[in-house]
Amino acid sequence: MEAFGNITRIEPAGIDGLIVYFEHDTLSQTNQAVQAMKRALKHSNPVWLNALIPGYDSLLVLFNLQHADVHTVYQALRHAKPTGQSQHKSEHYTLPVWYQAASADDFDAISQHTGLTASQIIEHHTSQDFHVFTVGFAPGFAYMGELPEVLSCPRLTTPRTRVPKGAVAIADRQTAVYPSDSPGGWHLLGLCPTALFDLTWQQPVKLQPGDTVRFYAIDEQQYKALCNEPG
Amino acid sequence: MSLVNITIQDAGMLTLVVDAGRSLAMQEVGFCVSGAADIRSYHLVNWLCGNPRHNAVFEVIGSFGMQVSEPCIVATGGPEFTLTVNGQPASPWQAMALASGDILELCPARLGTRSYIGIAGQWALPLVAESQSIVMREGAGGLNNDGQPIRRHDQISIQTNDKPSRQLRSLLPQAIPDYSLGTALQMIPGYQYASFEGWQQQLFFSSEYEVTNQIDRMGYRLKGQPIVCDTRTMRSEGINFGAIQLPPDGQPIVMLSDRQTLGGYPKLGCVAEYDIYRLAQAVPGDKVSFAPVDIDNARAQWLLRHRLDQQLFEGESQ
């Protein structure tokens, strides 16, 4: 299937899926193109549309096999007008982090990789707004970036079987907060007391693509106090 | 309406509640789809019970036993197992009327296969993203909505219909699923397929892979000829059912019902949806191979299968 505009490739992704890859000057712009296409398709809401799963630079379109084939989906992509602004008003969140909390502290390994001291690591992690590129892997897990190159760390060689809820983590030029206990392969910086995911909320996931996040440092006492606060 | 209490007497190695899966759109915020691993056997067992298409059933690895408190309709299916009711042999793939106090027991011929036990009626279990499936990894679903599997002595209430009893359904022998792995699993090349060199693609299709013991509802790790991909830097992207991931060690992982929604390994393509049930019923040591099928051809085969199912499911109206 022929690429067009800032779409570089369109590939089959299973019997009922097409994955569309985008490219722009920067990752933020690429991701905005992904989100814009997602909104455009969602807005036109064709009868065959099952789900739209955005990645960093891709959009997986799942369709109902009884109502469409890949050619139908391709035509819809060609005719989509991905210009509109998001209905979802982007939110800005400030999230507290108890850096180097005992259960989530990979500072030694991170220092070894980057040559940064503990205070430099915290400084780099708290001195810029991060952009939420996409949400996935686990409910409410928001992929944020981009970290400064100097803080870039590879994933663990062997993933951990359990990372605690609230763990703040980094991998490559990404950062995230684990919304619940889960396996994980990222390096850990500390713990965030803010709940990001709750099945009982009307919208169970707090961080959405397009939102921005700034982290700030707190100590153990503040962490404990914030954990006890309702909501 | 009347209420049946199911008491679990034997939960085997793993007993879960599954249905047709969650709303696909919930993947957009990170919820896995879940649902029955062998979706084919699931739909048949559910139909035998006379349930709607998205009803809860038990998905069991290993042996299973339950006692029912009131009369109810049950049906079972899956790869070969022995089945008894109150110790007397009974047949899979047909609906049975159980009486108060009856005990149903099941034991698979090969350890590791998944057996499905359906009970007519509405199960009193919480819904997450429009599904009653238990997702252990997410801590969702189940009796306490904490993702815990079903255990011995657990009790589940089921609201049954007191409609006049219709004829008990059974499956014709030719409609029973063929789980054999003798023919290759059909696979739709896609995702990063073009980034693999031609001879690596050929090597993949001409090799046989063994099912390892690292298999669960998230994915099946296979072992065999390593397949190398030049793509090293890849950004996380959406993973569809049956996607074949190639991590750096070159050993394929086929992603199943409880797969994560996003992942960053290169992928060769996806096993066609209509063939995934055979892999989901494979056990460690089984051998599988793959054959390419083009996406239009795959859809045509899916539609044909779907029409045959419709005839089966709608042929007998109540």
Q: Can you give the CATH number for the domain in which B280 is found?
A: 2.40.100.10
Q: Is B307's pLDDT higher than 50? A: yes
Min Cα–Cα distance to chain B from A55, Å: 4
Average pLDDT of the residues of chain B: 93
Chain B touched by A50 (CB under 8 Å): yes
Q: Do B190 and A12 touch (CB under 8 A)?
A: yes
Average pLDDT over residues B153-169: 84
Q: What percent of chain B has pLDDT over 70?
A: 96
CB B87 within 8 A of CB B45: no
Average confidence score pLDDT of chain A: 92
Name which of B27, B189, B269 is nearest A51 (Cβ-Cβ): B27
Q: In DSSP terms, which residues pair with A135 in a beta bridge?
A: A142
The answer for B 153-212 residues in CB contact with A (under 8 A) is 188-194
pLDDT given at position B317? 44
Residues B34 and B164 in one domain: yes
Q: What's the average model confidence in pLDDT over A147-173? A: 89
B85 with B223, same domain? no
- Does B106 fall in a domain? yes
User: What is the rounded CA–CA span in Å between residue B222 and residue B257?
Assistant: 17
Of residues A13, A51, A137, nearest to B30 (C-beta): A137
Domain limit, last residue, from B127, B150, B175: B175
Residues on chain B touching A65 (C-beta within 8 angstroms): 299, 302-303, 306
Number of domains in chain B: 2
Taking the domains of chain A in order of start, what are their residue ranges? 7-79, 92-228
B156 and B280 in one domain? no
Question: pLDDT, tens digit, for every residue of A129-140?
Answer: 999 999 998 889
Question: What is the arithmetic mean of pLDDT over A24-36?
Answer: 92
* For testing contact with chain A, the best of B23, B28, B253 (most A CBs within 10 A): B28
How many Å lie between the alpha carbon of B132 and the closest alpha carbon of chain A?
14
- When comparing pLDDT for B311 and B268, which is higher? B268
- Residue contact B28–A141, C-beta within 8 A: no
Contact at 8 Å (CB) between B113 and B78? yes
- Considering the domain architecture, whether residues B79 and B149 belong to the same structural domain is answered as yes
Concatenating the DSSP letter of every residue in A156-216 gives: PSS-EEEE-TTEEEEEBTEEEE-SSSEEE-SEEEEE--S--B-TTSSS-B---TT-EEEEE
User: Could you give the 3-state DSSP secondary structure of residue B208?
Assistant: coil
Question: Taking residues A33-47, what's their average pLDDT?
Answer: 93
Instruction: State the smallest CA–CA distance between residue B186 and chain A in angstroms.
Output: 10
Strand partners for B67: B7, B103
Question: B272 at the A interface (CB within 8 A)?
Answer: yes
Cis peptide, bond prior to residue A146, ω within 30 of zero: yes
User: Are residues B99 and B158 both part of a single domain?
Assistant: yes
pLDDT single digits (tens) A55-109: 999 999 999 999 999 999 999 999 998 876 666 678 999 999 999 999 999 999 9
A31 in contact with chain B, both atoms CB, cutoff 8 A: no
Decide if B311 is inside a domain: no
Contact A35, A209 (CB under 8 A): yes
Q: In this structure, what DSSP letter does residue B258 have? A: T
Chain B within 8 Å of A116 (Cβ-Cβ)?
no
pLDDT of residue A228: 83
Which range, of A61-75, A153-167, A179-193, B2-16, averages the lowest pLDDT? A153-167
**pLDDT > 70: percent of chain A:** 97
Asked if A202 has any chain B CB less than 8 Å from its own CB, the reply is no
Report which of residues A198 and B206 the model is more confident about.
B206
Same domain? For B73 and B91 the reply is yes
Average pLDDT over residues B34-49: 96
Task: Judge if B108 and B236 occupy the same domain.
Answer: no
Asked: is A7-79 a CATH 3.30.1360.40 domain? The reply is: yes
Give me the pLDDT at residue B29, please: 86
H or E segment to which residue A44 belongs = helix A27-44
Do B110 and B237 lie in one domain? The reply is no
Note down the domain range covering B275. Answer: 185-306
Q: Which of A106-110, A198-202, B270-274 has the lowest mean pLDDT?
A: A198-202
Among B175, B194, B210, give the residue marking a domain's end.
Answer: B175
- When pLDDT is cut at 50, 70 and 90, the band that residue B139 belongs to is confident
In this structure, the answer to whether residues B161 and B218 fall within a common structural domain is no
Q: Which tokens in the block code for residue B163?
A: 């409609």
Q: Chain B contact for A143, CB < 8 A?
A: yes
Q: Examine the pLDDT at B150 and tell me if it is beyond 90.
A: yes
Higher pLDDT, A137 or B20: B20
Summarize the confidence of residues B292-305 as an average pLDDT. Answer: 95
Question: Does one domain contain both B169 and B37?
Answer: yes
Q: Does A57 touch chain B (CB under 8 A)?
A: yes
At residue A87, the pLDDT reads 64
Q: Which residues of A touch B29 (CB under 8 A)?
A: 135-136, 139-140, 204-205, 208
Mean pLDDT on B118-144 = 95
Q: Does B147 touch chain A (CB under 8 A)?
A: no
Same domain, yes or no: B266 and B295: yes
Residue among B272, B192, B274, B244 at smallest CA distance from A14 = B272
Residue A231: what pLDDT? 52
pLDDT of A230 reads: 63
- Label residue B153 by pLDDT band (50, 70, 90): very high
pLDDT confidence of residue B318: 39
DSSP B261: S
| B21 within domain boundaries | yes
Mean pLDDT along residues B118-125: 97
| Closest chain B CA to residue A60 | B238
Identify the pLDDT of residue A86.
Answer: 66
Q: Tell me if chain B has a CB within 8 Å of the CB of A55.
A: yes
User: Which tokens is A4 given?
Assistant: 């067009």
Least confident of A58-72, A181-195, B56-70, B274-288: A181-195
The answer, yes or no, to whether residue B99 has pLDDT greater than 80, is yes
Asked if B261 lies within 8 A of A16 by C-beta distance, the reply is no
For range B48-77, the mean pLDDT:
96
B314 located within any domain: no
Q: How does residue B235 score in pLDDT terms, banded at 50, 70 and 90?
A: confident
Residue A139, min C-alpha distance to chain B (Å): 4
Chain B within 8 Å of A12 (Cβ-Cβ)? yes
CATH superfamily to which A92-228 belongs: Cyclophilin-like (2.40.100.10)
Q: Which amino acid is at A203?
A: Q
Whether A215 contacts chain B with CB within 8 A: no
Average pLDDT on A198-207 reads 84
Q: Is the distance from CB of B243 to CB of B254 less than 8 angstroms?
A: yes
Residue B313 falls inside a structural domain = no
**Start-end of H helices in chain B:** 39-48, 198-206, 276-280, 295-315
CB contact A145 to B (< 8 Å): no
Contacts of B145 in chain A (CB under 8 A): 199
If asked whether residues B16 and B124 sit together in one domain, one would say yes
